[in-house]
Amino acid sequence: MARKKNDNQQDPKNSQSAGDPEERILRTEYSEEMSKSYLDYAMSVIVSRAIPDIRDGLKPVQRRTLYAMHELGVRHDKPHRKSARIVGDTMGKYHPHGDSSIYEALVVMAQDWKKGEILVDGHGNFGSIEGDGAAAPRYTEARLSELSEVAFLADLDKDVVDFVPNFDETEKEPEILPVRIPNILVNGADGIAVGMKTSIPTHNLRETIAAMKLLMKQPTISTEELMEVLPGPDFPTGGLIINQSELLSLYESGVGRLRLRGRIELEQASKRSEKDCLVVTEIPYTMIGAGVSKFISDVAALIETRKLPEVTDISNQSSKEGIRIVFELKNGADPERVKNILYKKTGLEDTFGVNMLAVVEGTPRTVGLKAILAEFIQFRIECTTRKYSNLLRKEQEKAEIQEGLIYAIDIIDLIIEIIRGSKTVKDAKAALMGDPSGVKFKSAKSEKMARTLDFTERQAQAILEMRLSKLIGLEILQLTKEHDETLKKIGQYEKILSSPKVMTSTIIKELEEFAERFGRERRTEILEAEAAQEVKEEVVEQDQIFALDRFGYARTYDPAFFAKNEETVRNENREIFLVKNTGKIYIFTDTGVLHQVKASDVPLSRGKDKGVPLDNICNYESRKERIVGIFPDSAVEKEKFLFVTRDGLVKIVDGKEFVSGRKTVVSTKLAEGDSLAAVEQLSDSQIALITEDGYALRFAVSEISEMKKASAGVKGIALGKGDHVKEVHQVSPRARTGEAGGFDWNSVKLLKRGSKGSRMKKS
């Protein structure tokens, strides 16, 4: 018997929400839906936020900010307006993504050390090249720069680009700005999207225009030939590009790297400075921001670690006039060696990765120099065609009206009679267009003449709206003159639209005006040079005394100085041993890690010098690790070492196991929760372990097998619950009281490894 369906039970195939009859449940593969949603999100970030359009070289936030400023009327010759007002208008009308992103875009467009040509004229604190942030938007003011006004926004009223609804469809905004210069090259671009990144360097405006003109005249020209007028990027910070030979490949593929270098000048000793000085006058583009202070701190570190002893003083004398970082040199210093070290060891020589990614026809693409210019030329042709097509249409409409008015003035008596004889404007307008049936004429002759009229609707409307003052003789002459000028413009526009050659020359003439008006000389020098090589002086090998105090500060002493002050030095330091100045120091920590330090990195002390924290010259972290053994490389390379953990495991490892070119390596395997209690150079035939609970065990070293550093070890002592190894001592069979920890080891019975041991007795 079939079960009766419950009245409240719905068929899942036809289920619909009671509140929303439109709602439907769609069955789909989860992975497919996730993939589609993620791709939609990724493309939204790429196209709508992070990657610039190849045509105007702007991201949406930049485009909307400039347009909002244009709509606000903050022209270059008008007073500045509060940045907060500009940000508010942009966010409220066009870009609903938060005020911080809008203000950041506004600030960047006003910073002449980031952009080849500024698009915003900022007033107030807009940050600095050294990384200082801009003031809040309520404190700063801005207006459009002259370039952005005439080259980015000037043609918006000529219907040269499409307008689209804004986010809530209450306003219209341009889909693209009708930019008249290759902005994507001039100002460059950078941005990180989902799975892709763009990094386009800035270029010289005059050179970029020259390359564009060359390509328009010779479409088949090669990239190499274009580079004769556009040799490479031109950064606002100046500096040098030293890999000229790689630029051709970069411009052909759109991907590559630039080797950048700051400019250093030698200033001889003078009244201004008693010593010779090296002065950094230009920095690489990659150093702007926090890189300047990092550069100075890096140089200070080089001086502190004796890698740059020729520099006696550093001063940052940079100002609004430009970068000036001064390094005072010792007498007799080699400036070239100092330059090479600065280039090699600091950010004064750096790499700028180039990936010329832009949105082309709605899709992100990596494009080369020629492709960028070709796309922009096509865009300019489209904009220019629309511009002159619209201008031609308007002039043709104007000519039509002017012709009608000129003819109407010649038959003004008939026109007046038609107007006076018409009952309505509609009748008068119809009569002017050849249908005088609704007009009462004074004579049949006038009616006959009226039937010959054939004014267009636009002309008839203009005649009816014409003022009587137009009948004055001078006004008639002016009307005729305007008509001649209109016909001249029509001929000019038709010529531009009908001839590709004239179209090209029109665009080129416009570009030449921009180059003349806004162009400047190149700031970045391009040359071919090898990457900086550090000049290494031959070091004479000699002995030094390494010392480490209880605060973790390391220093070395000259052996002669140490001999005279041995007692003082030993009292002040917990570790002292002999090391070669060309050697290394090996530091074992309780975490099972081994750190290496070059002896040359440890400063030479004259007695009062504080030394340097180990944290500063290796990867050792005093807050997280504790030193359990420290030795010179001469010992590590020749001796064997005893390892003991807090959980009582022991092993012997050959020191050669630890010789490595890496600064930090793992020295042993540790169980979870265990740590090293001691690492000692093997010296005696017996080992004694003391625990925190006061147990001691003495056994022969021969019971411990030699193992690899990756092994955990074997049981040295059986520990009680919660007990750990506290001390490790190496003793001889006839150890006297006080020789090893102050204990009478002869009273401690010699047992086997792995025993529990016995309670210690103090002597």
Question: Alpha-carbon distance 336 to 565, whole Å?
Answer: 39
Identify the residue whose tokens are 């040295």.
Answer: 716
Are 716 and 753 a contacting pair, CB within 8 Å? yes
Q: Where are the alpha helices (DSSP H) in 411-472?
A: 412-421, 425-432, 444-450, 457-465
Reported as type and span, the H/E element at residue 728 is strand 725-731
Amino acid at 19: G
Which tokens is 114 given?
A: 């980031």
Count CB atoms within 10 A of the CB of residue 92: 14
Sheet of 695-700, strands arranged across? 725-731, 686-691, 695-700, 758-759
* Nearest Cα to Cα of residue 259 among 534, 523, 530: 530
Question: Alpha-carbon distance 64 to 42, whole Å?
Answer: 21
* Nearest Cα to Cα of residue 428 among 464, 392, 482, 382: 464
Question: Alpha-carbon distance 385 to 500, whole Å?
Answer: 10
Question: Alpha-carbon distance 419 to 423, whole Å?
Answer: 8
> DSSP code of 762?
B
Q: What is the DSSP string of 460-477?
A: HHHHHH--GGGGSHHHHH
65 φψ region: left (φ > 0), alpha (ψ -120 to 50), beta (else): alpha
Question: Alpha-carbon distance 699 to 750, whole Å?
Answer: 5
Question: Alpha-carbon distance 528 to 245, whole Å?
Answer: 7
* Catalytic site residue from 30, 41, 94, 139: 139
Which tokens is 342 given?
A: 């600065």
**Three-state DSSP class for 356?**
coil
> DSSP code of 50?
I
Spell out the residues 6+ positions from residue 273 whose beta carbon is closer than 8 angstroms to its own: 267, 326, 328
Which tokens is 37 given?
A: 């949603």
Task: Using the CB atoms, write b or e for 530-561: b if 16+ within 10 Å.
Answer: eebeeeeeeeeeeebbbbbeeebbbbbbeeee
Query: Environment class of residue 290 by beta-carbon count within 10 Å: exposed (0-12), middle (13-18) or buried (19+)?
Result: exposed
What's 130-157 look like in SS3?
CCCCCCCCCCCEEEECHHHHHHCCCCHH
* Nearest Cα to Cα of residue 511 among 385, 382, 380: 380
Torsion angles phi and psi, residue 511, rounded to 5: -65, -40
**Three-state DSSP class for 722?**
coil
Torsion angles phi and psi, residue 496, rounded to 5: -65, -45
CA dihedral 417, 418, 423, 426 (to 10 degrees): -160
Active-site residue, 41 included: no
Length of the chain: 763
* Nearest Cα to Cα of residue 369 among 454, 252, 488: 252
Spell out the residues 6+ positions from residue 559 whose beta carbon is closer than 8 angstroms to its own: 543, 544, 545, 578
Are 284 and 348 a contacting pair, CB within 8 Å? yes
Q: Compute the C-alpha angle 177/178/184, nearest 5°.
A: 75
State the catalytic residues: 139
